[in-house]
Amino acid sequence: MFNISRYVCFFSYFCREKQKTMESKAEDILLKVRSYRSIVNIAFRLYTKSFWQLLRKQWPLLILVAILYWVAVMLTVYDLYVFVPIVILAVIAELLLWWHTGSWLTQRSMKRMLRPARRHFWRLLACAVIGVIALLPLCALVSLPPSILVLAEWESQNSQLMGDAPAMPSYVLYLTGATWFVSLLLQVCIRLYLVFVAYYSWGSGEARLQERQAQLAQLSSTL
């Protein structure tokens, strides 16, 4: 008699084993000693390969992070800001981006990743700082259109104070706000690449640590 439950159990077992094998291969690929140039290259390949999948999965997060940055920028541009709230908004936005994207990338809870990440804290911090500096020209290029609108608006306001007719339309404030939001959303998508760099940088550091521990264990066994 045909027993479908047996085949269902076999199929489930096969899927679980295949998933474990894929995860093991991914772990082997991640935990490999790499040069910084190799880390940058492989991170870029994974970033471009999985960008649309990441966008489909994480689009609410990207919009939320862009909104937080947008609020901070608007407060700064229109002189309504206090320094501390702007810094807090930027820090919250960046933590959200790294936390959730890191969870998606590693397929693990970030709470489980905090302990191994602490072992390579300075390495990951250096990657983040150097990466932000390296991406500044590209982010500045993306920020150029809204910056031009802001300068034009300020020039128009100065002309009005001198008694001239307004040179900009009345809806320029909304246009500037919308342009800034699109620009910041693009910058958030660009900065996602840094999470991938940190991912492979952590893997390389962990591989070096495992090699060092294996060498120490071998040395102690020979003594």
The reported pLDDT for the residue numbered 28 is 44
- Is residue 140 a contact partner of residue 183, using CB atoms and an 8 Å limit? no
168: phi > 0 → left, psi -120 to 50 → alpha, else beta; which? Answer: beta
- Is residue 185 a contact partner of residue 82, using CB atoms and an 8 Å limit? no
Which string of DSSP letters, residue by residue, matches 141-160?
HHTHHHHHHHHHHHHHHHHH
For the residues 60-69, what does the mean pLDDT come to?
91
Choose among 91, 61, 44, 42: nearest CA to 188. Answer: 61
Contacts 24+ apart (CB under 8 A), 186-190: 186/142, 187/69, 187/139, 187/142, 187/143, 188/62, 188/65, 188/66, 188/69, 188/97, 189/51, 189/55, 189/62, 190/135, 190/138, 190/139, 190/142
Confidence of residue 222 (pLDDT cuts 50, 70, 90): confident
CA distance 152 to 220: 70
pTM: 0.75
Strand, helix or coil for residue 33 = coil
The reported pLDDT for the residue numbered 4 is 53
Looking at mean pLDDT, say which of 131-145, 165-179, 198-212 comes out highest: 131-145
Between 143 and 203, whose confidence is greater? Answer: 143
Between 157 and 165, whose confidence is greater? Answer: 157
Strand, helix or coil for residue 82 = coil
> Which helix H or strand E contains 46, and what residues bound it?
helix 36-49
Residue 12 has pLDDT above 70, yes or no: no
The chain-wide mean pLDDT, for the chain, equals 77
Residue 7 has pLDDT above 80, yes or no: no
Per residue in 67-84, pLDDT (tens digit) is 999 988 888 777 665 677
Per residue in 165-197, pLDDT (tens digit) is 666 777 788 888 899 999 999 999 998 999 888
Confidence of residue 89 (pLDDT cuts 50, 70, 90): confident
Summarize the chain as % helix, strand, coil (round to 5): 85, 0, 15
